[in-house]
Amino acid sequence: QQPVQSPQAVILREGEDAVINCSSSKALYSVHWYRQKHGEAPVFLMILLKGGEQKGHEKISASFNEKKQQSSLYLTASQLSYSGTYFCGTANYGGSQGNLIFGKGTKLSVKP
Amino acid sequence: NAGVTQTPKFRVLKTGQSMTLLCAQDMNHEYMYWYRQDPGMGLRLIHYSVGEGTTAKGEVPDGYNVSRLKKQNFLLGLESAAPSQTSVYFCASSYLRGRDNEQFFGPGTRLTVL
């Protein structure tokens, strides 16, 4: 079951904050976040493996709410380099043979 | 380390033609994957492998075959290409099981089927 990402697109000015959400209809084992710039390969940001876990580095962090079956990615004080499409990938308990199912992505544009 | 490499980078086929996409990784990863990416669809898993000599179907396997004769290589074949297979294909690898580990992606192959 493909996770649902929201919003589909967001436009920010440099220095503004953004939140991207990822929701699943099934119980989640893990949530992964990737960023893809136009014409390039997806690049790993972080994995969240436990319910309630929060991870981050510098100004990008994420949380995982196992009960609500959702994860949120937080981008603080955005920079031009944050522009790209953000994908969450989810792994469910007992399904998908331990593979990830990716959402459709959230396109983030940061303007000067 | 080159990481994950893919050849070719671009290819144009006519309907009915066949081709093979090659993926190679130099990180000694056990797991390898083939995804396709279409506009607005995200990444969809075609086939994957959990080790040398093994392959398994993903979400969208129809029309594709794969082989993993060597640990470092994972080949994706299209026996009779169709316009619906026009897409960007990404190979990825991970040290162990995908749900627990970071996946490293190759640069992609842009395939157009006329």
Express each pLDDT in B60-79 by its tens digit: 999 999 999 999 999 999 99
Answer yes or no: do A100 and B56 touch at CB < 8 A: no
Per-residue pLDDT in tens (0 to 9) along chain A, 112 residues: 899 999 999 999 999 999 999 999 988 889 999 999 999 999 999 999 876 676 777 789 999 988 889 999 999 999 999 999 999 999 987 666 678 999 999 999 999 9
User: Does residue A82 contact residue A108 with C-beta atoms inside 8 Å?
Assistant: yes
The reply to whether residue A99 touches residue B48, judged by beta carbons under 8 angstroms, is yes
At residue B109, the 3 state secondary structure works out as strand
Instruction: State whether residue A72 is helix, strand or coil.
Output: strand
Interfacial A residues in 39-68 facing B (CB < 8 Å): 40-44, 47, 49
* β-sheet bridge partners, residue B5: B24
Q: Count of CB atoms within 10 A of residue B28's CB?
A: 9
Nearest alpha carbon to residue A38 among B24, B39, B92: B39
Sheet holding B4-7, edge to edge: B4-7, B19-25, B73-78, B65-67
Structure tokens at A106: 């959230």
pLDDT at A96: 60
Chain length of chain A: 112
pLDDT tens for residues B97-106? 888 889 999 9
- Residue A104 has its nearest CB partner, among B41, B59, B105, at B41
How many residues in total does chain B contain?
114
Integer Cα distance of A24 and B102 in angstroms: 20
- Answer whether A47 sits within 8 Å of B100, measured CB to CB: yes
Q: Note whether A95 and A55 are within 8 A (CB).
A: no
